[in-house]
Chains A and B, each alone.
Chain A
């Protein structure tokens, strides 16, 4: 099987109906992320960065347009199909880790494996492996409240990769962390990208993220340039139409 994890957002429109008003978050938005990229998605708050991640992960559906992941169109899948697809294809890391306080690090990491046909022993092994990848093996038996913020985020990353998805979607994963810890997490993500070939899309406000990512997209300017290009293309078309119209006269 070819390792195709390309993410394509095609002519996306995402809007919300608020009474009589329509709030347009994205209009005719296009983006392609290639397999093996580590993209840092930056930009001011409220611009729709989380929305894009949710669309890529099938947590949210576009109002219009198409979402393709690894050659499969996912925006028209049923909830059931999405749930199942997500479990094996996507790992999520959030700003707040949402680890379950009643489970140990090991237990939290094993949780997504409850969705797989793996048996108890295999689940344990997979979780141990994931914890090892994020250098948290010694803390496997610790509960979230016994861990530091950085350690919790590591466990959350282990949980995201434990079912071996090829794509990681991270929403401000270092937002709550101090500089040093944030660097460690960024380095960890970069390692997962370069050594394991994970395709990573990370929403961040952290300017240092550029040092780790393979591509930085500043959403604000990206949208501006996209709109400009579209307007030009539109203009060209109209001009051509005029020319052809003129020649007919």
Chain B
């Protein structure tokens, strides 16, 4: 006579059964791999897309957060979103530099950097002699500018001479365009420039720029003596609000100030938002597609196994255990798919340098794909979630499958 089992025992039996069935399902998985291929591939694609988006935003964040100093303030024309849109006059720079909060050297010179920032149409011949044209950021810099880039290092060549068309290129550009080497002549807006050296700046966004003498940039781009942005080093960066107020009230000035750190953080924010806005909807649609594929695969699997399932029920397996094993199988499919999507991406693209159009400067910034364990875990989690959701309905159906029917036909 059967004794009624306690809750714990029932749970134990259910788990044991589910485990036994799952082992069986896993064992027969190789035979069903062809039938599951669509699911595996589509889940793999979703994982790959998500991982790309995450790696891209991660790399971009790293690059932009690497850029900018805390005690440096960036001054632009009021209303300018980026350096590109800003126009400033030398008199304004003098007023700003005279403020006692600005750091001075032993000679009493204020630590200030006047900079130009334009979008240059760069033409050069690539390895095959083909002419290529790129839109790159060109920064006109002053003698003091490197004081504001403490990580600036010349990796090859030498600094440019002032008063001639010579320039430095950032390491990120050099990496992506290997044709650009020291002493190479390139064309910027019709004029010939010589590459005098290549610099690094700890993977900051500046490595995606061309640096040249500010005077040459002003004359080549017909800007007279106007500049675009001013960097100031402050004694006490904590009192930014007071400084802002002071300059706001000055009728001779019409400017916007922001710490350089904040400026790049904002850019990082808007860029990553853009990538997410573009990437996530695509991933979402693909995820839904993959879920339907998983759903289909599991429904088909159940249909072809209805007798097997009925037999299991007849010999005493609980419907719950059967459905758990179905879900596990769907998750296994997702695991295989996820791994297939993630692994090649990791092997090929980790550290790979990509370029994107910077939305606010319209020139390219370069960054590395940064694939790390957390991003892989996130992508895999999404793949598994798709498998889980795709397996739930079929599992429910298997649970409800009428035994007598399946055994009869």
A residues near B (Cβ < 8 Å) are: 1, 50-51, 54, 57, 59-60, 70-72, 79-81, 83-89, 92, 94, 96, 98, 100-103, 111-112, 114-115, 159-160, 163, 171
Which bucket holds chain B's interface residue count? 20 to 34
Q: Give bound CA distance, A80 to B27, whole Å.
A: 28
Contact, CB under 8 Å: A1 / B1: yes
The answer to whether B24 has its CB under 8 Å from any CB of chain A is yes
CB nearest to A55 among chain B residues: B404
The answer to whether B408 has its CB under 8 Å from any CB of chain A is yes
Contact, CB under 8 Å: B319 / A101: no
Which single member of B19, B27, B407 contacts A94 (CB below 8 Å)?
A: B407
Contact, CB under 8 Å: B404 / A96: no
Which single member of B24, B308, B310, B313 contacts A83 (CB below 8 Å)?
A: B313
Assess A72 versus B20: contact at CB under 8 Å? Given A57-B314, A83-B313, A100-B308.
Answer: no
CB distance from B36 to the nearest CB of A (A): 15
Contact, CB under 8 Å: A87 / B408: no
Assess A114 versus B314: contact at CB under 8 Å? Given A50-B407, A79-B319.
Answer: no
Contact, CB under 8 Å: A80 / B314: no
Contact, CB under 8 Å: B13 / A115: yes
Assess A86 versus B307: contact at CB under 8 Å? Given A70-B1, A81-B4.
Answer: no
- 7 A–B contacts from the bound complex (CB under 8 Å): A83-B316, A84-B5, A84-B13, A87-B315, A89-B2, A100-B28, A114-B17
Question: Interface of chain B, helix or strand or loop or mixed?
Answer: helix
Q: Give bound CA distance, A102 to B314, whole Å.
A: 19
Q: Give bound CA distance, A107 to B308, whole Å.
A: 15
Per-position 1/0 for B9-33, Cβ under 8 A of A: 0100100110110001001100100
Within 8 Å CB of A85, what residues of B?
Answer: 2
Contact, CB under 8 Å: B319 / A111: no
Contact, CB under 8 Å: B13 / A103: no
CB distance from B326 to the nearest CB of A (A): 15
Give the residue among B2, B13, B316 with the most A Cβ atoms within 10 A: B316
Contact, CB under 8 Å: B316 / A86: yes
3 nearest CB pairs, A to B: A87-B316, A98-B311, A114-B20
Within 8 Å CB of B318, what residues of A?
Answer: 80, 83
Within 8 Å CB of A160, what residues of B?
Answer: 315
Contact, CB under 8 Å: B24 / A103: yes
Contact, CB under 8 Å: B316 / A84: yes
CB nearest to B16 among chain A residues: A114
Within 8 Å CB of B2, what residues of A?
Answer: 72, 81, 84-85, 88-89
B251-268 contacts to A (CB < 8 Å): none
Within 8 Å CB of B404, what residues of A?
Answer: 50-51, 54, 59-60
Q: Give bound CA distance, A81 to B19, whole Å.
A: 21
Within 8 Å CB of A54, what residues of B?
Answer: 403-404, 407
